[in-house]
Structure 1
Amino acid sequence: MAPAAANPMPNTQSAKKRLRQNEVRRLRNRGVRSNMRSAVRRVREAVAAGDQDAAQSAFRLACKKLDQAAARGVIHRNAASRTKSRLNAAMKKASQAA
């Protein structure tokens, strides 16, 4: 899914450079987003399995990944905060049920 193919070809040197920069940033952001989503998924899986220790360690890593993604502008800082809050609430609920 390359946005360069969908858009008309750049004509100016600055537009060509911007296209190269956007491609590099898109790929970098995709990696950051993928790592972040994987970390969040691991927390949810540990909570669903009822493994509190694994959930705690995965939660710490997920918080770090969410904050890094927010700092880089991949996601909004409020979205990162909301996700951390919901993960924490899910962990609390699971620990009280156990």
Structure 2
Amino acid sequence: MANTPQAKKRIRRNAARTIVNGNRVGRIRTFVKKCENALTAGDKEAAAAALAQVQPELARGVAKGVFHKNTASRKFSRLTKALSALA
């Protein structure tokens, strides 16, 4: 158990950041799923529009520290590759 005031504050701060970061990851996953569903349906226009929304969300996730840079790059690369395969 935390004894110092700083440690107690750190616990409060970590709990708050966990909620924010969880929401951020959930938002990114939602955008990725929209893109994947459009790709599965074969709707190239909708998939391209969804992919355009996914890219900045992934980049923001990297900037905020909830995703590793390579993880975001891999996800975006796979989605882009799947989109180009529809052509």
65, 77, 85: which is aligned to 1:85?
77
List, as ranges, runs of 4+ consecutive aligned residues in structure 1 with deviation greater than 4 Å.
none
Structure 2 unaligned residues grouped into runs of 5+: none
Matched with 1:61 is 53
1:13-66 per-residue CA deviation (whole Å, 9 max, x = no partner) reads 000000011011100000110000010011010011011111011001111110
Aligned length: 87
Q: So what's the TM-score if we normalise by structure 2?
A: 0.96
Superposed CA RMSD: 0.7
- 3-state SS in 1 of match to 2:75: helix
> Which fold has the larger relative contact order, with Cα–Cα distance below 8 Å and residues 6 or more apart in sequence?
2
Q: Identity over the aligned pairs, expressed in percent?
A: 38
Amino acid at match of 2:67: I
Given the alignment of the two structures, is residue 10 of structure 1 paired with residue 2 of structure 2, yes or no?
A: yes
Rg larger in structure = 1
Q: Distance in 2 between matches of 1:33 and 1:61?
A: 15
Structure 1 unaligned residues grouped into runs of 5+: 1-8
Q: Distance in 2 between matches of 1:61 and 1:20?
A: 33
How far the C-alpha of 1:91 sits from its partner, in A, is: 0.6
Given the alignment of the two structures, is residue 41 of structure 1 paired with residue 67 of structure 2, yes or no?
A: no
